[in-house]
Amino acid sequence: MKFLLSAVVAIAAFPFAVHAQDLDPNPIVLHAAHILDVAAGKVLSPGEVLIVGDRIREAGQQVQHPADAQIIDLGDTTLMPGLIDAHTHLFLHPGAEDLQTVEESVPQRVLQAAAAAKADLFAGFTSERDMGTEGAACADVAVRNAIDRGQIPGPRMRVACNAIDILGGHEDAIGYNPAQHVLSNADYANSAGEIVHVMREQRKGGADFTKIYETGQDVLIGDTFTTPYQYTEAELTAAVTEARRTGSKVAVHCTGEPGALFAAKAGVASIDHAYQLSPETMKLMREKQIYAVPTFAIVEYFSQHPIYSGQGARDQQELAYHAAEFKKQLAAGVPFAVGSDVGPFPHGTQAREFELMVQFGMSPADVLRSDLINGARLLDWADSIGQLKPGFYADIIAVRGDPIADISALRHVAFVMKEGAIVVRKKQAGAENNQQQKP
Ligand SMILES: [Zn+2]
């Protein structure tokens, strides 16, 4: 798997083993031509952020410059919060499908997941919600913990272990010799009691939240979209009740009705994919602040890189259908978060999702608020990530260009800081001051 990282230079000599504030307690001032005010949806000029240890002390057009501060001039870039991807798969890579659990060992997949985490972080994604390992059980917990301990580079993670699915359901390994008993990529649960049992097992294994497959195969003929639901409203309610008992959340893979209505009534945290949402579902989502996570990028990718004959045309049609429904969802006031479903397409390239959301009708300012403010809420880090505010984690990126004027600026990440440690600094980003770079 290629991560397209050749352009990345001047990586700080991996301050991962020890956090930056332990190596060097000196404050840092980042200076750039511009800064994004996410809540206001505005770019201001110039921009500065004062960082002490792993936290932001001050951010705005001008901040204090303490006498012992290291000043880093990032030149003609825009400072903004690190990006959030609310739908990732660190344990997937292009070309891997149902047989990944047969062909690849879990240790092999863990190593690939570590590389994926690094690629995502280097592309500016400092926080992610990983939507299931697809057959590697709770191996994502080890990856999340290694990142948190500073042992490997990667975004701060919310992880789900395996997703939960019915026997013979959307993520089961169907179509193989039954005598081989090819395992599902998800954990089986066929009743409310079994769902709760699996959730407790996953929680014991270290999961932060639960992912459930609520719909199966999608059929789109003309304008008629159908997909079978997998769990009843009562079963999803049992899952949400169990999650709430432990302060956790449930997210559903759900492309359409009636599964989406069951999920909204049950009170899930997000409906991912959400190609089709009925007026009643949209109203409930607005009232309960249930986020839709469109994941356009994956469908576009498969429309261009089909893995079976006919998939290109099918996914193109699905993307067009979803784009038309997305406009209705925007008009109905459905709240959104941004997730790309990266994994089946190369990690580190998922900024494409922002461009597609704009292309299909959302303003850049709203896409950024959906990603950073709603995403932080969805990941339960509303008070510590997603905005450049005093007391928040110093998860900061600098991009070339103005993302409000042209969202594709998010593809051009010149600088990445996570928790006060510099992860990426491309030569062009204030090259004149490279000698001041933190070791
Ligand atoms: Zn997914």
322/438: higher pLDDT: 322
* 256 phi/psi in degrees, rounded to 5: -170, -165
Kindly give the distance from the C-alpha atom of residue 374 to the centroid of ligand 1, in angstroms, as a whole number: 19
DSSP letter for each residue of 321-360? HHHHHHHHHHHTT--B-----BSSS-TT-TTHHHHHHHHT
Kindly report the average pLDDT of the chain as a whole number. Answer: 92
Kindly give the distance from the C-alpha atom of residue 392 to the centroid of ligand 1, in angstroms, as a whole number: 28
Task: Tell whether the model's pLDDT for residue 327 goes beyond 60.
Answer: yes
Task: Tell whether the model's pLDDT for residue 16 goes beyond 50.
Answer: no
**Other CB atoms closer than 10 Å to residue 411's CB: what's the count?**
19
Confidence of residue 258 (pLDDT cuts 50, 70, 90): very high
Which contiguous run of DSSP H or E holds residue 282? helix 279-288
How high is the pLDDT of residue 15? 45
Confidence of residue 428 (pLDDT cuts 50, 70, 90): low
Kindly give the distance from the C-alpha atom of residue 87 to the centroid of ligand 1, in angstroms, as a whole number: 6
Task: Tell whether the model's pLDDT for residue 432 goes beyond 60.
Answer: no
Q: Report the Cα–Cα distance between both ends of the chain, in Å, rounded.
A: 29
pLDDT in tens, 300-322: 999 999 988 999 999 999 999 99
Kindly give the distance from the C-alpha atom of residue 238 to the centroid of ligand 1, in angstroms, as a whole number: 22
Kindly give the distance from the C-alpha atom of residue 394 to the centroid of ligand 1, in angstroms, as a whole number: 28
Collapse the DSSP code of 412 into the 3-class scheme (helix H, G, I; strand E, B; otherwise coil) and give the result: coil
Kindly give the distance from the C-alpha atom of residue 186 to the centroid of ligand 1, in angstroms, as a whole number: 12
Kindly give the distance from the C-alpha atom of residue 7 to the centroid of ligand 1, in angstroms, as a whole number: 28
Kindly give the distance from the C-alpha atom of residue 431 to the centroid of ligand 1, in angstroms, as a whole number: 38
In percent, how much of the chain has pLDDT > 90?
Answer: 87
Beta strands in 28-122 (DSSP E): 28-32, 34-37, 42-44, 47-52, 55-60, 70-73, 78-81, 83-88
What does DSSP assign to residue 372?
A: I
**Domains annotated on the chain, with CATH:** 20-82+386-436 (2.30.40.10), 83-378 (3.20.20.140)
Kindly give the distance from the C-alpha atom of residue 387 to the centroid of ligand 1, in angstroms, as a whole number: 26
How high is the pLDDT of residue 430? 53
Task: Tell whether the model's pLDDT for residue 114 goes beyond 70.
Answer: yes
**Other CB atoms closer than 10 Å to residue 32's CB: what's the count?**
26
* 31 phi/psi in degrees, rounded to 5: -125, 135
Confidence of residue 101 (pLDDT cuts 50, 70, 90): confident
Task: Tell whether the model's pLDDT for residue 217 goes beyond 90.
Answer: yes
Kindly give the distance from the C-alpha atom of residue 200 to the centroid of ligand 1, in angstroms, as a whole number: 22
Report the C-alpha gap between 416 and 81 in whole angstroms: 10
Report the C-alpha gap between 39 and 389 in whole angstroms: 11
Q: Taking residues 160-169, what's their average pLDDT?
A: 97
Report the C-alpha gap between 377 and 385 in whole angstroms: 9
* 143 phi/psi in degrees, rounded to 5: -65, -50
pLDDT in tens, 385-406: 999 999 999 999 999 999 999 9
Kindly give the distance from the C-alpha atom of residue 133 to the centroid of ligand 1, in angstroms, as a whole number: 10
In percent, how much of the chain has pLDDT > 70?
Answer: 91
How high is the pLDDT of residue 96? 73
Kindly give the distance from the C-alpha atom of residue 234 to the centroid of ligand 1, in angstroms, as a whole number: 24
Task: Tell whether the model's pLDDT for residue 87 goes beyond 50.
Answer: yes
Two tokens, residue 221: 């003929």
Q: What is the pTM of this model?
A: 0.93
Beta strands in 131-260 (DSSP E): 156-159, 164-165, 187-188, 210-213, 219-221, 224-226, 250-254
Kindly give the distance from the C-alpha atom of residue 418 to the centroid of ligand 1, in angstroms, as a whole number: 25
Task: Tell whether the model's pLDDT for residue 45 goes beyond 70.
Answer: yes
Q: What angle do CA 214, 130, 249 make, to 5 degrees?
A: 55
pLDDT in tens, 328-353: 999 999 999 999 999 999 999 999 99
What does DSSP assign to residue 151?
A: S
Beta bridge partners of 226: 219
Kindly give the distance from the C-alpha atom of residue 88 to the centroid of ligand 1, in angstroms, as a whole number: 6
Kindly give the distance from the C-alpha atom of residue 341 to the centroid of ligand 1, in angstroms, as a whole number: 5
The pairing of strands 34-37 and 78-81 is parallel
